[in-house]
Amino acid sequence: MNFGIPNKPLKWEYLYLIQFEIEIAMSALSALNANQEKSLRDTKKSFDDFVTNNKEAVESLPKEYQDSYYSHLHYEDDMMINDLQRLQRYSIVVLIFCFYESKLQLLCKEIESLFPDLGKLKQINEAQDLKRFWRYFSEILKINSEALYPLYEKIRQQKYLRNILITTESFQKRILG
């Protein structure tokens, strides 16, 4: 692959290095996600065991106080576990996208350094990074992207979901402090 510039082929070992780094990182993220999910299951089980073990103590309370007891003692813990699960899952989605976007950015910078006459990523006037990278590869580098377009569309749709997660989290932080 020489992008129309004679005697200056792209260093394929760099692409293999990026691929290797992605594989390692995805294995690490998969392990992180599995550990987080296991931790959440263990926490939820401990909470459920606590509720079960306290059932007798709760039943000894007058009927009018039982709901209040559950509400004050258990509701907060249950909400905390659910919120922790939501935050962990949102975080892993955001982390995966940040990771891939940084790798695409590095790849574009490497190509720019090897082929300074081609064009720069900053020439692509696009607010969204993913779209900017896509246009850089297809318009500047003239990579035939037809076969990859369905994959790009799926990633773009997931990016839309990721942006909703970030916006929701940012909105909640601003509102809730």
The answer to whether position 36 is within a domain reads yes
The answer to whether position 1 is within a domain reads no
Q: Residue 35 has what pLDDT?
A: 94
Alpha-carbon torsion (125, 121, 160, 94), positive or negative:
negative
Identify which of 108, 156, 114 has the alpha carbon closest to the alpha carbon of residue 7. 114
Q: Residue 37 has what pLDDT?
A: 92
The answer to whether position 54 is within a domain reads yes
The answer to whether position 5 is within a domain reads no
The answer to whether position 161 is within a domain reads yes
Average pLDDT over residues 43-50: 87
Alpha-carbon torsion (110, 147, 144, 8), positive or negative:
positive
Reported confidence tier of residue 30, pLDDT bands at 50, 70, 90: very high
Q: Is the pTM of this model over 0.85?
A: no
Angle (nearest 5°) at CA 98 between 93 and 99: 100
Q: If DSSP codes are grouped into helix, strand and coil, which group holds residue 80?
A: helix
The answer to whether position 7 is within a domain reads no
Distance CA 44, CA 101 (A): 34
Q: Which residue is it, tokens 């919120």?
A: 83
Say how many domains are in the chain. 1
Range of the domain at 90: 12-176
CA distances from 11 to 91, 110, 113, 141, 165 (A): 34, 9, 11, 15, 37
**DSSP assigned state of 121:** G
More confident residue, 39 or 2: 39
Reported confidence tier of residue 2, pLDDT bands at 50, 70, 90: very low
Determine contact, residues 5/117, Cβ cutoff 8 Å: yes
The answer to whether position 4 is within a domain reads no
Q: What's the mean per-residue pLDDT of the chain?
A: 81
The answer to whether position 3 is within a domain reads no
For the cut 70, the answer to whether the pLDDT of residue 112 exceeds it is yes
First vs last Cα of the chain: how many Å apart?
51
Query: What's the burial of 84, exposed, middle or buried (CB within 10 Å: 0-12/13-18/19+)?
Result: middle
